[in-house]
Amino acid sequence: MEYYSGRISSLIEELSRLPGIGGKTAQRLAFHIISMPEESAERLAGAIVDARKNICYCSRCCTLTDSQFCPICSDPSRDQKTIMVVENSRDSAAYEKTGQYHGLYHVLQGAISPAMGIGPSDIRLKELMQRLQAEEIGEVIVATNSTLEGETTAMYISKLIKPTGIRVSRIASGVPVGGDLEYIDEVTLMRALEGRTEL
């Protein structure tokens, strides 16, 4: 039995297709949107349509942007000799929030996952190798996630780049700040031990 009219049900259904949005959250969002002032709802709808039409990939680093080059690639004060390779634009945004990294990025838009049918040609590795040939790069920092897919991707990138003579490094991984050792998995503890630093 339908609880809501067709248009409300349709809105809830479309919202529930978004990642991380279940039925109850979709319902709550739908009623919030319906109760918004009409101008606010139109701005929201316009922003969604505008973003979908005008967001593209940066010609240099492959992150999402609305111009040929993203703000980071356009910034001449960035370290032009260092590239951090990340899986998606959210990862580069996370590093930018730290304010500690001043180099460039390369966004793969995914990770190698044979189980999901995602191979090296399905992510932005070709573009990375083209950059390394065209630009004078001293170091590539591989900052893929510490998952099976992220580790596979990191190893593949390392094998591709090492013959070029460019330094390849991997971000450290280990015990999170505030984490209890008893709840941390063995692989993370092993990485923390391997990546220890002198005090």
Do the strands 79-86 and 139-142 form a parallel or antiparallel pair, or are they unpaired? parallel
Q: Residue 189: which CATH number?
A: 3.40.1360.10
* 167 part of a folded domain: yes
The whole domain housing 89 covers 77-199
Burial 67-104 (b: 16+ CB within 10 A, else e): eeebebbeeeebeeebbbbbbbbebbeebeeeeebebb
The reported pTM is 0.80
d(CA 142, CA 106): 10
* 91 part of a folded domain: yes
Looking at the structure of the chain, the number of domains it has is 1
d(CA 156, CA 170): 12
Per-residue pLDDT tens digits of the chain, which is 199 residues long: 466 678 998 999 999 999 999 989 999 999 999 999 999 999 999 999 999 999 999 999 999 999 999 999 999 999 999 999 999 999 999 999 888 899 999 999 999 999 999 999 999 999 999 999 999 999 999 999 888 899 899 999 999 999 999 999 988 877 677 777 677 777 777 777 777 766 5
